[in-house]
C-alpha cells in the first residue's frame, strides 16, 4: 500500500485551486464540497489531512468495484501497452464489450460507445429525432439526464437555486429557450398526468426519457404499472422509449434495471458503472434504430468522438464486467439490504421522522416519515435536518453527499464492517439531530 503523505502544500491547495479553476474545481457541484482527496483504496478515501472516510459517494456510482482497483488498473495498463487508440474501425475490446452487453441487456441488439452519460443521452435524442422525424421530448420532473440543452429542464437545480418546484426550471442559465420549450415534463408516478401529456403531445414526441429506477434525487421506484403504462403510451403514439440507465445499468443487474423490471425500452443509455472510474458511456438498442448511426444512413444521426470506445476504457469495462458477474452484484445487494435494515432500526431507535428507500447496493434516506413518490414529494422533506445529519456523518468519517437529496451506494470492495461502522455513525448522527 502506498503510504499517505500529506503534500507539503496541502493547506494551500484549495487557495491554489481557486486561483486557477472556477470556484476551485472543474464542475459546479464539485466546488460545493471542496475536499482534497489524496489517496483512494477500495471503499475508502483519505483527505489531505490524513482522515480516512468510508466512501458512499463513490464518484456518484462510477466506482463500482472499488477505488484504485489493481485488477481493473492492470487491465488498463496491459491494453495500453498492447494496442492504443487508433480510431480505425472497431477496437478489439469494443467488440468484446458490445457482445457481452448484447448477451445480457434485453434492449441491446446493437451497442455504440461514447465517453460520458451526457453524451449518451444527447446521442439518444438525436437518434430518436432522426428516426421519428419529430422534435419534442418527454421527461420526468427531477430526473437528470446530463447537462446538454436537450433535456436539462424540470431537473434538480444547482445548490442554492430556489426554483426547484418549477417543472419548467432549467438546470443552467444559458440553456436555449427553444430546446427547453420542446420538452414536456411530467411528475414521476403521476399516471393521470402521463396520460394527459400523451393525449396532448403523443404524436409530436420523438422520445420519452426516464430512469427506470429514479436515482436523481435519492431512490424512487416506479409504482406498479407505471413503467408498463409508459411503454404502452410510447408504443401507441410511435414515441421511442429511452431508459436512461446511466446510474442503474451494470450496478443492479448486468442487463440493466430493465432486466429486473421486465419493461423493455427501444433505446438504453448507460455509463457510470461500466468503467469503474474510467470514462465510458454508450447506447444500446434495436438494430434497426441503432443503424441510424451508420455513415450515410438516410435517416441517420451522426455519432462521432475521437475517444469513443478507446482501448483503455474497454479493458476497464471488461475487467469490471467480470468482477460484477463474479458475485460482485449480489455482494453489493446483500450489503445494501444490511444497510437499509440497519438504518430503519436506527431511525426507530432515534425516533426521528425519516425513512429509507433503495435497491441493490444503493439507498437513500429522506427526512420525512414516508418515502416520496416523486420529486415534488421529495422536496417536502426537512432539508435543514438532512444537511445537519449529513454533516454529522461527515464528522464521524462517513463520506455521504452533503446535498439534501441524493442516493448513496456501496461498491464490490465494501465490507460488512464498512456497513456496520456506517450504521453506528448514522445512529449517533440521528440522535444528535432529534
Buried b (16+ CB within 10 A) or exposed e, 228-255: ebbbebbeebebbbbbbbbbbbbbbbbb
- Do residues 388 and 400 lie in contact, with contact meaning Cβ atoms separated by under 8 Å? no
Nearest distance in Å: CB 408, ligand PMP: 14
- Could you tell me which stretch among 111-119, 194-202, 249-257, 348-356 binds ligand PMP (CB under 6 A)? 111-119
Q: Tell me the residue ranges of DSSP E strands in 21-177.
A: 37-41, 44-47, 52-55, 110-114, 136-140
163 bridge partner residues:
none
Asked if 275 contacts 383 with a C-beta cutoff of 8 angstroms, the reply is no
Q: Tell me whether residue 400 is exposed, middle or buried, using C-beta atoms within 10 angstroms of its C-beta: 0 to 12, 13 to 18, 19 or more.
A: buried
**One-character DSSP codes across 366-426:** ESSSS--SSHHHHTTS-HHHHHHHHHHHHHTTEE--SSSS--EE--TT--HHHHHHHHHHH
The least CB distance from residue 380 to ligand PMP, in Å, is 22
The CA distances from residue 125 to 42, 235, 366, in Å, are 36, 17, 32
The H-or-E segment that residue 431 falls in is helix 416-432
Rule CB under 6 A: choose which of 13, 32, 46, 60 binds ligand PMP: 60
Those residues with Cβ within 8 angstroms of residue 286's Cβ, 6 or more apart along the chain or in another chain: 107, 109, 110, 266, 267
Minimal CB distance to ligand PMP: which residue? 117
154 binds ligand PMP (CB under 6 A): no
Q: Is position 13 an interface residue for ligand PMP (rule: CB under 6 A)?
A: no
What residues numbered 207-266 form the site for ligand PMP, per CB under 6 A? 211, 216, 244, 246-247
* Least separation in angstroms between CB 372 and ligand PMP: 17
State the nearest-atom distance from the C-beta of 212 to ligand PMP, in Å.
10
**From 46-54, 85-93, 140-148, 419-427, span contacting ligand PMP (CB under 6 A):** 140-148
**Position 362 contacts ligand PMP (CB under 6 A):** no
Name the segment binding ligand PMP (CB under 6 A); options: 73-81, 112-120, 320-328, 367-375: 112-120
Instruction: Report the 10 Å Cβ neighbour count for 340.
Output: 20
Q: How far is the CB of 355 from ligand PMP (least distance, A)?
A: 22
> Least CB distance from residue 233 to ligand PMP, whole Å?
21
Q: Which residue number, 114 or 206, has a Cβ lying nearer to ligand PMP? A: 114
Span from 40-48, 143-151, 401-409, 416-424 in contact with ligand PMP (CB under 6 A): 143-151
Under rule CB under 6 A, residue 144 binds ligand PMP: yes
Contact predicate 299/131, CB 8 Å:
yes
Chain residues 265-284 in contact with ligand PMP, contact rule CB under 6 A: 271, 281
Closest CA to 427 of 367, 351, 350, 363: 350
Smallest separation (angstroms) from ligand PMP to the CB of 273: 11
- CB nearer to ligand PMP: pick between 169 and 352: 169
Q: Does 121 bind ligand PMP (CB under 6 A)?
A: yes
Nearest to ligand PMP of 146, 361 (CB atom)? 146
Q: Is the dihedral of CA 427, 432, 433, 434 positive or negative?
A: positive
Q: Return the residue matching grid coordinates 434485453.
A: 106
The 3-class SS string of 195-213 reads HHHHHHHHHHEEEEEECCE
Near ligand PMP by CB under 6 A: residue from 42, 66, 93, 117: 117
Q: State yes or no: residue 118 binds ligand PMP (CB under 6 A).
A: yes
Binding region for ligand PMP (CB under 6 A) out of 3-11, 67-75, 114-122, 195-203:
114-122
Give the total of residues touching ligand PMP (CB under 6 A).
15
Window contacting ligand PMP (CB under 6 A); options: 142-150, 175-183, 311-319, 325-333: 142-150
**422: phi > 0 → left, psi -120 to 50 → alpha, else beta; which?**
alpha
* CB-nearer residue toward ligand PMP: 212 or 336: 212
Rule CB under 6 A: is residue 146 a binding residue for ligand PMP?
yes
Pairing of strands 136-140, 205-210: parallel
- Residue 115 Cβ vs ligand PMP, minimum distance, rounded to whole Å: 8
Residue 6: CB minimum distance to ligand PMP, A:
30
CB 266 within 8 A of CB 285: yes
Site residues for ligand PMP per CB under 6 A: 60, 116-118, 121, 144-146, 211, 216, 244, 246-247, 271, 281
Amino acid at each position: 500500500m502506498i503510504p499517505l503523505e500529506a503534500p507539503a502544500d496541502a493547506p494551500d491547495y484549495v487557495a491554489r485551486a481557486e486561483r486557477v479553476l472556477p470556484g476551485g474545481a472543474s464542475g459546479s457541484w464539485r466546488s460545493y464540497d471542496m475536499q482534497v482527496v489524496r489517496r483512494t483504496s477500495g471503499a475508502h478515501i483519505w483527505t489531505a489531512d490524513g482522515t480516512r472516510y468510508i466512501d458512499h459517494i463513490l464518484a456518484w456510482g462510477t466506482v463500482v468495484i472499488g477505488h484504485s482497483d489493481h485488477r481493473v488498473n492492470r487491465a488498463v495498463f496491459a491494453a495500453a501497452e498492447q494496442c492504443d487508440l487508433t480510431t480505425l474501425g472497431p477496437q478489439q475490446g469494443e467488440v468484446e464489450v458490445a457482445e457481452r452487453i448484447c448477451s445480457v441487456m434485453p434492449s441491446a441488439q446493437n451497442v455504440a460507445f461514447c465517453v460520458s452519460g451526457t453524451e449518451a443521452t444527447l446521442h439518444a435524442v438525436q437518434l430518436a429525432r432522426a428516426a421519428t422525424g419529430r422534435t419534442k421530448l418527454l421527461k420526468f420532473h427531477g430526473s437528470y439526464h446530463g447537462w446538454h440543452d436537450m433535456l436539462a429542464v424540470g431537473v434538480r437545480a444547482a445548490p442554492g437555486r430556489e426554483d426547484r418546484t418549477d417543472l419548467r426550471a432549467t438546470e443552467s442559465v444559458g440553456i436555449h429557450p427553444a430546446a427547453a420549450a420542446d420538452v414536456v415534463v411530467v411528475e414521476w408516478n403521476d399516471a393521470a398526468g402521463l396520460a394527459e401529456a400523451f393525449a396532448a403531445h403523443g404524436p409530436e414526441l420523438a422520445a420519452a426519457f426516464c430512469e427506470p429506477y429514479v436515482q436523481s434525487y435519492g431512490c424512487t421506484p416506479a409504482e406498479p404499472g407505471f413503467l408498463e403504462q409508459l411503454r404502452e403510451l410510447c408504443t401507441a403514439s410511435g414515441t421511442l422509449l429511452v431508459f436512461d440507465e446511466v446510474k442503474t445499468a451494470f450496478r443492479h443487474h448486468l442487463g440493466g434495471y430493465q432486466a429486473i423490471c421486465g419493461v423493455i425500452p427501444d433505446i438504453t443509455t448507460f455509463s457510470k458503472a461500466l468503467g469503474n472510474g474510467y470514462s465510458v458511456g454508450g447506447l444500446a438498442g434495436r438494430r434497426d434504430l441503432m443503424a441510424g448511426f451508420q455513415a450515410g444512413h438516410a435517416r441517420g444521426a451522426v455519432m462521432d468522438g475521437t475517444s469513443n470506445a478507446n482501448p483503455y476504457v474497454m479493458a476497464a469495462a471488461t475487467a469490471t464486467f467480470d468482477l460484477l458477474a463474479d458475485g460482485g452484484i449480489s455482494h453489493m445487494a446483500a450489503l445494501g439490504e444490511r444497510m437499509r435494515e440497519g438504518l430503519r432500526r436506527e431511525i426507530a431507535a432515534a425516533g426521528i421522522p425519516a425513512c429509507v428507500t433503495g435497491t441493490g447496493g444503493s439507498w437513500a434516506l429522506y427526512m420525512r416519515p414516508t418515502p416520496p413518490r416523486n420529486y415534488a414529494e421529495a422536496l417536502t422533506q426537512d432539508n435543514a435536518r438532512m444537511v445537519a445529519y449529513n454533516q454529522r456523518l461527515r464528522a464521524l468519517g462517513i463520506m455521504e453527499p452533503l446535498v439534501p437529496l441524493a442516493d448513496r451506494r456501496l461498491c464490490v470492495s465494501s465490507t460488512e464492517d464498512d456497513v456496520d461502522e456506517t450504521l453506528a455513525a448514522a445512529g449517533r448522527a440521528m440522535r444528535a439531530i432529534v
